[in-house]
Amino acid sequence: MNADTQKVVLNLPATAEFVDVVRLNLYGIASKMGFSYEDIEDMKVAVSEACNNSVLYAYGQEGGHVEVTFEVGEETLSIIVEDEGESFESVKDMGQNNTLHDKDLHDVQIGGLGFYLMQALMDNVSIENSAGQGTRVILSKNLALSEETV
């Protein structure tokens, strides 16, 4: 994070009802940055997937919290979703070797499709997790230049 980056941090209960709070904050921040409606909708879906993974996999029925950090750069918005729950199935390499093309749908882990969806909707996705340490999902989207400025 460079000196020009601003941060907005939310610390929320890991329950489905609070995912809307994250989406509303994302909308406000991304709108101020100048993202298009389509890009904002894509980011809302991706951040919902990341939050839902924390709610569903990290804590199960137990209470916990999810920390969502919006890092606002000049041309990039990064959204970091962190929990301290049990790690869910890790996607070690999100490169070309890890696509759905060579798998039958029943071979894909339930919930695993969320990672492919996040990757398709965002410019960059990284996942860090380790046993007992929780999971950190970093989603980044670059601000596209509008046709008017080109």
Q: Give pLDDT, residue 14.
A: 85
pLDDT of 144: 83
Res 94: pLDDT: 42
**What is the structure's pLDDT at 86?**
63
pLDDT at res. 100: 40
pTM of the complete model: 0.77
What's the rounded Cα separation, in Å, for the pair 20 and 131? 28
The pLDDT value recorded for residue 142 is 97
Q: For the chain (length 150 residues), average pLDDT per consecutive 10? A: 82 89 97 96 95 74 84 96 69 41 45 81 89 85 68
Q: State the Cα–Cα distance between residues 91 and 116, nearest whole angstrom.
A: 10
Q: Say if CB 68 and CB 21 are below 8 A apart.
A: no
pLDDT of residue 32: 96
- Break the chain into its structural domains and give their ranges: 7-149
Cβ contacts of 5 within 8 Å, gap of 6 or more: 71, 72, 73
Q: Please state, in angstroms and as integers, the Cα–Cα distance from residue 8 to each residue in 22, 45, 112, 114, 138, following that order.
A: 11, 19, 28, 24, 14
Token pair of 2 as six digits: 């460079």
Q: Which CATH superfamily is domain 7-149 in?
A: Histidine kinase-like ATPase, C-terminal domain (3.30.565.10)
